[in-house]
């Protein structure tokens, strides 16, 4: 089992999939920050004065983590960032479901509205597993330089 999960070609597929997904998700939000800020506000989880701060920085963290994953720079670290985000998303969606809010999840900005629900949590858990795989095994094949930072 471990052999399959740590297969370097599977790791590349995971890396690119997660990378492109987060680049897409980041760009969609950056294009329409106003909508994304409204989406965050609808979750009613954050105090008003922090909403736009997170709306401004979150898409860029998604974008950079995604890009770095695609190029294979600091794969484990970026997978960890993405997993952290996913955990936050899962909690946010879960809490909203418990409170019975039927809101658009804001997951990919304005592209294809999806409501908060079990499906969303399921998808995020799946992505979380892919992220965990990358945290454990990294992915150095076809990467720009796996020791880009640690050598210096």
Partner 1 sequence: MKINFRIIVLIVVLSSITGLLVNYFNPKGVTFIHTERKLQTAEALSGINLSSPDPQQINLPQARTLYKQKVVFIDAREEDDYNLGHIHNAINIPYSNFETMKERLSNISKEDVVVTYCGGSDCDLSILLADKLFADGYKKVLVFFGGWDKWLTANYPIVINGELYNAEVE
Residue 128's Cβ-side half-sphere holds a number of Cα atoms within 13 Å equal to: 14
Size of the site for partner 1 (CB under 8 A): 47
- Binder of partner 1 out of 8, 13, 53, 91 (CB under 8 A): 53
Helix residue ranges, H only, 112-152: 118-137
The set of residues, in sequence order, having a beta carbon less than 8 Å from that of 47 and lying 6+ positions away, is none
74 class by beta-carbon count within 10 Å (0-12 exposed, 13-18 middle, 19+ buried): buried
Residues 57-76, one symbol each (x = binds partner 1 by CB under 8 A, - = not), give xxxxx-xxx--x-----x-x
Q: Is 149 in the site for partner 1 (CB under 8 A)?
A: yes
Give 104's DSSP letter.
B
Beta bridge partners, 44, equal: none
Q: Which is nearer to partner 1, 3 or 47 (CB)?
A: 47
Q: Is 37 in the site for partner 1 (CB under 8 A)?
A: yes
Give 138's DSSP letter.
-
Compute the C-alpha angle 104/106/109, nearest 5°: 130
- Only segment of 7-15, 38-46, 86-94, 121-129 that touches partner 1 (CB under 8 A): 38-46
Q: Is 113 in the site for partner 1 (CB under 8 A)?
A: yes
Residues of this chain that interact with partner 1 (CB under 8 A) are: 30, 33-34, 37-42, 44, 48-49, 51-53, 55-61, 63-65, 68, 74, 76-78, 80-81, 99-104, 112-115, 117, 135-136, 149-150
């Amino acid at each position: 089992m471990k052999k399959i999960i740590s297969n370097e070609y599977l790791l590349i597929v995971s890396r690119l999939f997660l990378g492109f997904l987060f680049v897409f998700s980041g760009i969609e939000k950056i294009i329409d920050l106003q909508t994304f800020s409204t989406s965050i506000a609808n979750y009613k989880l954050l105090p008003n004065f922090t909403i736009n701060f997170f709306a401004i920085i979150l898409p860029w963290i998604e974008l950079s983590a995604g890009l770095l994953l695609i190029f294979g720079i600091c794969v484990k670290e970026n997978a960890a960032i993405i997993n952290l985000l996913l955990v936050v998303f899962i909690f946010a969606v879960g809490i909203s479901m418990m409170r019975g809010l039927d809101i658009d999840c804001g997951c990919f900005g304005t592209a294809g509205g999806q409501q908060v629900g079990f499906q969303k949590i399921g998808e995020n858990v799946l992505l979380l597993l892919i992220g965990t795989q990358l945290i454990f095994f990294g992915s150095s094949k076809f990467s720009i330089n796996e020791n880009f930072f640690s050598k210096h």
